[in-house]
Amino acid sequence: MIFRSFAVTLALSLLAGLPAVAQQPAAPPVTVSKPLQKDTVDWQDYTGQFAPVENVELRSRVSGYLTEIHFTDGQMVTKGDLLLVIDPRPYENAAASARATVAQATASVELAKRQLARGGELRQKDFLAASDYDIRLQQEKVAEANLDVARASARDAELNLSFTHITAPVSGRIGAHQVSIGNLITGGGANGAAATLLATIVSLDPLYFNFDMSESDYLKLQSVFGAGLTQAAEAGKLPVDFSLSSGIGWRHQGHIDFFDNQINRGTGTIRVRASIDNHDGMVTPGAFGRLRVPSSRPYTALLVPESAVVTDQSRKVVMTVTEDGSVVPKAIVPGPVAEGLQVVKSGLGPDDQVIINGLMRVRPGAKVTPQPGSIAADPQMH
């Protein structure tokens, strides 16, 4: 019994003296993928404002009391639709008076012509003095002139009468009426007086998008599209993409159709205008949005997720995994973001295994357990 206790004690003492075996931590798992190779184009973004192609302020050309409103505030109107009516009765009276003056002048012309014809017969027989004949000739000319004046006054009266019925000069959306029925409207007329604003109409399809481009961007665009940049714009050959300020993705397409004729010396920018179809009416004039313009020819690029790019002091770095599972950082030269992915200009090869998930669990030189993943582009993202 004493011997067994001694043996157990000795065995425990020997075990206690043995060195402990170190437990190696398991290599953390990470998701890796080769860079996505894809044909892409570099884009330059701009912020601007949508504007209607046609913007009309409805003002009356004649004065009078407003008697009728034939539209609902905010409705769509078509060119030629009757919108407002100013009391036409005074102008109807003026038109009737002008027509009567024309009839009177016409009768005077007929009488003058008959008297001139009689005078001509008498003059041939020497029964009428030459001076009297000249008087009848002048009377006929004066009567003709008075008829021309009367006809002009009649046309003016008819024109003023037509101005009492205000129609839509363009198709688009009309705003709220600014004057209620019964109010006296001041017309603009020919004297340049300030006419009363009645309503406004803006066209909705297509729309303009106005923005300013820096001189350097303008020169870069010229290098892409050549010296005929303005002609290309006029021909609609400069495609662009639009995005609303509240939306995600580039869901609207259009084209640049105008460059200003000079660069602003104060700001160093040039005013540019693009045109966009708005068949669905999703864009409202006056809204702000974004536009992107291609700034390069198409080329094949390597793309990685933006989350796979880390910053090391002043460098951009992606973490790669070698065949033995070691983490190797690679400094890259990043390009623009395309379809939600980071374009890599240089520093990365097409066969490199880039860590796209699990960056928080790795460090340079450490071992990892790579798991295959994939990189996908989103055409609606920029």
In a domain, 380, yes or no: no
Shared domain check, 196 and 62: yes
DSSP summary character for residue 164: T
pLDDT at site 204: 92
Shared domain check, 180 and 82: yes
pLDDT at site 247: 61
In a domain, 191, yes or no: yes
Q: Indicate the residue among 294, 313, 334 that finishes a domain.
A: 294
Q: Indicate the residue among 112, 137, 163 that finishes a domain.
A: 163
User: What is the C-alpha to C-alpha distance for residues 292 and 44, in angstroms, rounded to an integer?
Assistant: 5
Residue 344 · residue 35 · CB < 8 Å: yes
Shared domain check, 196 and 69: yes
Shared domain check, 349 and 247: no
pLDDT at site 144: 87
C-alpha angle with apex 144: 143 to 145, nearest 5 degrees?
Answer: 90
In a domain, 354, yes or no: yes
295-333 residue pLDDT tens:
777 888 888 998 888 887 788 998 898 988 888 999 999
Q: Indicate the residue among 146, 180, 202 that finishes a domain.
A: 202
pLDDT at site 3: 40
DSSP summary character for residue 270: E
Q: In what order do the strands lie in the sheet with 165-167?
A: 165-167, 82-86, 64-69, 184-185
Domain count within the chain: 4
Regions in the chain scoring below 70 on pLDDT: 1-25, 189-193, 227-228, 235-236, 246-251, 379-382
The pair of three-digit structure tokens given for residue 263, joined into one six-digit string: 């660069």
pLDDT at site 18: 45
Shared domain check, 133 and 188: no
Residue type for position 63: S
Q: What's the CATH number where 70 sits?
A: 2.40.50.100
Residue 317 · residue 329 · CB < 8 Å: yes
What count of other Cβ atoms lies within 10 Å of the Cβ of residue 114? 12
Shared domain check, 197 and 70: yes
Shared domain check, 175 and 48: no
In a domain, 257, yes or no: yes
Shared domain check, 174 and 123: no
Q: What's the CATH number where 124 sits?
A: 1.10.287
- Nearest alpha-carbon partner for 354 in 34, 106, 9: 34
Q: What's the CATH number where 257 sits?
A: 2.40.30.170
Question: What is the three-class DSSP state of 241?
Answer: strand
In a domain, 355, yes or no: yes
In a domain, 10, yes or no: no
For 325, the domain range is 29-38+300-372
Shared domain check, 190 and 222: no
User: What is the C-alpha to C-alpha distance for residues 353 and 367, in angstroms, rounded to an integer?
Assistant: 14
Q: What's the CATH number where 360 sits?
A: 2.40.420.20
The pair of three-digit structure tokens given for residue 220, joined into one six-digit string: 């870069």
Shared domain check, 363 and 234: no
Shared domain check, 248 and 218: yes
Shared domain check, 139 and 97: yes
